[in-house]
Amino acid sequence: MMLISQMGYKLVDNLLTLQKTKIMLSKSIEKALNSQIKIEAESSQIYLAMACWAEVKGLEGIAGFMYKQSQEERDHMLKLIKFVNERGGHAQISELSSPHVTFGSFKEMFEELLSHEIFVSNSINELVHVTLQERDYATHNFLQWYVAEQIEEEAVARNILDKINLIGDDKGGLYLFDRDIEKLNVTTVADPTAQ
């Protein structure tokens, strides 16, 4: 006959198993989130390489902006890692592809930045689509922050490119842009704090 204490343990065990099966990520969502972790890590490296190139070219404002972006991308990666691990998955830390380390011009560098952000937005959208297909509303909800973040980052990249196009080959204009880039403030309708 089962003792009362044994019954208690069994009940707790069953509850834990039930809770785990309810919150666990499916294998396909876990795999998709792990791919996104790699993309965020690569984004951080891409911005770090851009920061270094700008720094050795003497444009400290642009370098500072890129170092900050690199750190933000690392934070995006960490946020995903924590989420995967907390939901019963296992975040994978994988090998990264090498970023470009030199650029033909600042315009080329910012063009690359914009096309990379568009690539990341498409990847997030695909991920959101998978969560809906699998009816994983918790992950779907979690990813909304990334959707809004991408809208903002694409807007910043477009804004910078517009300014760089206006400057053209004018060295004085680039000097002033470098001085002011840290103050660049782009608000989008997706930003919940925007008026």
The residue ranges that bind ligand OFO (CB under 6 A) are 40, 43, 73, 76, 117, 120, 149-150, 153
C-alpha 3: how far from its chain's center?
A: 52
Q: Which is nearer to ligand OFO, 131 or 150 (CB)?
A: 150
Question: What angle do the packed helices 171-180 and 137-167 form, to 10 degrees?
Answer: 150
Q: Which is nearer to ligand OFO, 39 or 174 (CB)?
A: 39
The number of residues making up the chain comes to: 195
CB of 72 to ligand OFO, least distance (A): 7
C-alpha 179: how far from its chain's center?
A: 26
CB of 135 to ligand OFO, least distance (A): 25
Q: Which is nearer to ligand OFO, 40 or 136 (CB)?
A: 40
CB of 34 to ligand OFO, least distance (A): 15
Q: Give 133-192 as a 3 state SS string.
A: HCCCHHHHHHHHHHHHHHHHHHHHHHHHHHHHHHHCCCHHHHHHHHHHHHHCCCCCCCCC
CB of 163 to ligand OFO, least distance (A): 19
Q: Which is nearer to ligand OFO, 40 or 178 (CB)?
A: 40
